Amino acid sequence: MKSKYNYIERGEGEVIVLLHGLMGAVSNFEDTIKRLPQYGYRVILPMLPLYDMPILKTNVNTLADFISKFTQELKLEEFSILGNSLGGHIGLILALKHPDKINKLILSGSSGLYENTLGGAFPKRGDYNYIKSKTEEVFFDPKKATKKLVDEVFDIVNSREKVLRVLMMAKSAIRHNMKEDLPKITQKTCIIWGKNDKITPPDVGEEFHSEIPNSDLFWINKCGHAPMIEQPIEFNKILVNWLKDVAK
């Protein structure tokens, strides 16, 4: 029977589920998907159904339930989560809901405390240069906002159905503030943050570190909101070293 889930799977060993962000895609973790299996990890990256959910159910908890059902279908008894931006937020919710299943947590530019989003109004549709400048803000080096990436974001904001869901999800992430819940997280947590993140600024990474009891914080210089795209070699080096250290 064909699975209703769209996902990529590579490697064998300890399972790590990768969760992309609100404007994210499989390509965000391109380098990580290649690297982790070389170190003995089974990597699974599901595509989040950001544009397929009913409008009234477009929220962070619905996505957390989606991932929970997805991992049940794959019969994953225990796994770690690596989440960027909205993906980190989903990971936090799952870590609290399923402490017996979620082994370790890796957060990068995670929402859940504070984030600069597209704002409460519709982004300027049809204004390509505006979308290009907003996409460039995700990175320390604006050249990382490739034409392909800008085109993808432009396509999203020019689809009324898609942009409505993006705004609903962004508002849901802001409403679902997790400050009070963070001290209850029991998993070992790795926090990898861009020193130049404008979406979730560095003090957000510091707050996650101070509130999550068993956490380690790592900085990447000259890096914005998506370290796994902008500084993949450094990001994966920190990640693999941390995974090996906590496994000792």
Instruction: Provide the pLDDT for residue 2.
Output: 45
Residue 236, domain member (yes or no): yes
Instruction: Provide the pLDDT for residue 119.
Output: 45
Detail the DSSP E strand segments found in the chain.
7-10, 14-19, 41-46, 79-84, 102-108, 188-194, 215-220
Count of the separate structural domains present in the chain? 1
Residue 214, domain member (yes or no): yes
What is the CATH classification number for the domain harbouring 237? Answer: 3.40.50.1820
pLDDT digits 0-9 by tens, 31-52: 999 999 999 999 999 999 988 8
Measure the CA–CA gap between 84 and 55, rounded to whole angstroms: 23
pLDDT digits 0-9 by tens, 106-145: 999 999 998 876 544 445 667 899 889 888 999 999 999 9
Residue 155, domain member (yes or no): no
Residue 149, domain member (yes or no): no
Full-model pTM: 0.93
pLDDT digits 0-9 by tens, 67-79: 999 999 999 999 9
Residue 225, domain member (yes or no): yes
Q: Any idea which of 14-23, 54-63, 159-168, 214-223 has the lowest mean pLDDT?
A: 159-168
Residue 150, domain member (yes or no): no
Residue 189, domain member (yes or no): yes
Instruction: Provide the pLDDT for residue 1.
Output: 37
Given a cut of 60, is residue 187 above it in pLDDT? yes
| CB-CB neighbours of 112 under 10 Å | 28
Mean pLDDT of the chain: 91
Residue-number span of the structural domain to which 88 is assigned? 7-115+177-247
> Average of pLDDT values for 56-60?
90
Distances in Å between the alpha carbon of 243 and those of 40, 44, 101, 225, 247? 11, 16, 17, 22, 6
> Average of pLDDT values for 168-193?
94
